[in-house]
Structure 1
């Protein structure tokens, strides 16, 4: 920063379970030298201005078309130019490794990404859109602070999984190796877990690991064979079981108990999803007692 520049900076941050969302703006040229980030990855998406970023031996000129992934085990230096504004997501190194191990089935020691994030690439642009939606949910109070842990965990898991799928890294080849065509056995294993464990907190990663394939491949298989995603199938099984309990037990069980037994951890969202699916609220089903 030159001696004549006025230092104007703004930072906002919201913490999740294993990652955080950040907004940073600098009103003057500034040099940042954090060294090795050590315990976390930092993904930077410019929304205005430019920056020159070096991570290890790789240098990236960051613009609205090019973001940056900072690897924690590489020395980082940055030059943010005047008027640069960025949104950033900070992801715990141990969490990234945990997700990668569960996705690949391989006990990888570390993950290193290509630093340049091509925001014009269709799949990466889609990931950036998901990140922006997450910022919007946080600003609206629908995620992060005050949200329930199950929903927050699923949001964070989906964001990290999709990053590993779209951004070239040292584990990308593992994710490609586990494709297996349209194996009925994979579909059967996935459905067996959904049908038997729907009352538990299970995620797309849990289902794909049990089925023996990658989350992306499982989604493709479900779409082709069943016309829905694995998580949509899980949602339908949970809602159908809840309806079964509502019509069979009458008022002997509370709606909250039925929501819990059918795998729903948030009563308000359960009631909304149930009404969207069946055209009436859970309490209305209980009052009607359509089967006596």
Structure 2
């Protein structure tokens, strides 16, 4: 579920340490200069197997962690961020991100008050599963640094910040398990696509078959909390190859096709339903979680609102 944890006023560095350990990773922290612990800020949002954290400190600190059981993607929003991962030194500035592998010693010798960090944490088993689905038979090793100034990198970072803002400021749908599952898969898939190079073209002849497999699976269970990785697993190819196949064969993305199927299913249920059924109940039963988009798309497609159809 999506959760939030805020600490706006710390009494001492022990409280700061505990807040960071809860929000991101267990670690060793040592203040290096005079500075007020009360000027530190820590905020976190948990989305399924992923976590997003925002951290800033009131003094220069050193931090060491082994990133137990999870990947940590450290994104400086301001300031310079130096890390020593194993024996490799990595420096990242805004527009770059450092990828820290799980169960590997990482030392941050000089985290200054000018550096605000967004951390993206993903359970290593979940990440490995998504890598197998998204990357297919391509090598599954991640780089130590990624460029967030590319189109894909910038889009992923914007998505991370948007999700973080909504989960920490608006409970609503963001605590719904269906939404959380889809968000975790989409966040991780988008990260992998931003962090790994393009794969080569797949043989054109296989694309109709891979597309048909996914289409059949969607029609069999349109309400399922589909993620890009799960669709790619059904097709037996990478996410990128599946997207290419849908564009060529269907002239739309897989999730656009999925939404169309859900819309048709909802229309059929609205036509057949009556009291005490509600539009929201039917939409959620068909896998639609964004009711505003659903209402607009429904009106465009069928010339009436979902509630008008339900009352007939």
Asked if these proteins are the same fold (TM beyond 0.5), I'd say yes
Partner of 2:225: 201
Which residue of 95, 114, 139 corresponds with 2:126?
95
Q: Which runs of 5+ in 2 are unaligned?
A: 1-30
SS, match of residue 176 in structure 1: coil
Structure 1's unaligned 5+ residue stretches are none
Q: 1:233 aligns with which of 257, 260, 269?
A: 257
State whether structure 2 residue 175 is matched by structure 1 residue 147.
yes
Residues 20 and 217 of structure 1: CA distance in aligned 2, closer, same or farther (over 3 Å): same
The structural deviation recorded for 1:177 is: 6.6
1:85 matched to 2:108? The reply is: no
- The alignment of Structure 1 onto Structure 2 pairs a total of residues equal to 274
**CA 1:262–1:77 in structure 2 vs 1: closer, same or farther (change >3 Å)?**
same
For the aligned residue pairs, the C-alpha RMSD in angstroms reads 2.7
User: For each residue in 1:111-168, what CA deviation from the matched residue of structure 2 results, as whole angstroms up to 9, or x when unmatched?
Assistant: 6522222222332222212212212222441678x52111111111111112222214
Q: Shift of the alpha carbon at 1:221?
A: 2.2
SS in 1 for 2:89: strand
Distance (whole Å) between structure 1 residues aligned to residue 149 and residue 212 of structure 2: 37
Q: CA deviation at 1:229?
A: 1.3
Q: Which of 50, 56, 63 is residue 80 of structure 2 equivalent to?
A: 50
TM-score by length of 2: 0.77
Which residue, out of 87, 94, 113, partners 1:64?
A: 94
State the TM-score, normalized to the length of structure 1: 0.82
How far the C-alpha of 1:28 sits from its partner, in A, is 2.3
Name the CA distance, whole Å, in 1 between partners of 2:102 and 2:182.
24
1:191-270 matched pairs, under 5 angstroms: 191-247=215-271, 249-251=272-274, 254-255=277-278, 258-259=282-283, 261-264=285-288, 266=289, 269-270=290-291
Bigger shift: residues 250-259 or 127-136: 250-259
SS of the residue corresponding to residue 178 of structure 2 reads helix
Per the alignment, residue 105 of structure 2 pairs with 75
Is structure 2 residue 204 aligned with structure 1 residue 181? yes
Q: 1:252 offset after TM fit, Å?
A: 6.6
Deviation at 1:232, TM superposition (A): 1.4
Structure 1 pair 242/63, CA: closer, same or farther in 2 (3 Å)? same
1:67 aligned counterpart, secondary structure: strand
Aligned counterparts of 1:143 and 1:49: Cα–Cα separation in 2? 34
1:15 correspondence with 2:46:
yes
- Select 2:298's aligned residue among 268, 278, 285: 278
Residue 24 of structure 1, CA deviation: 0.6
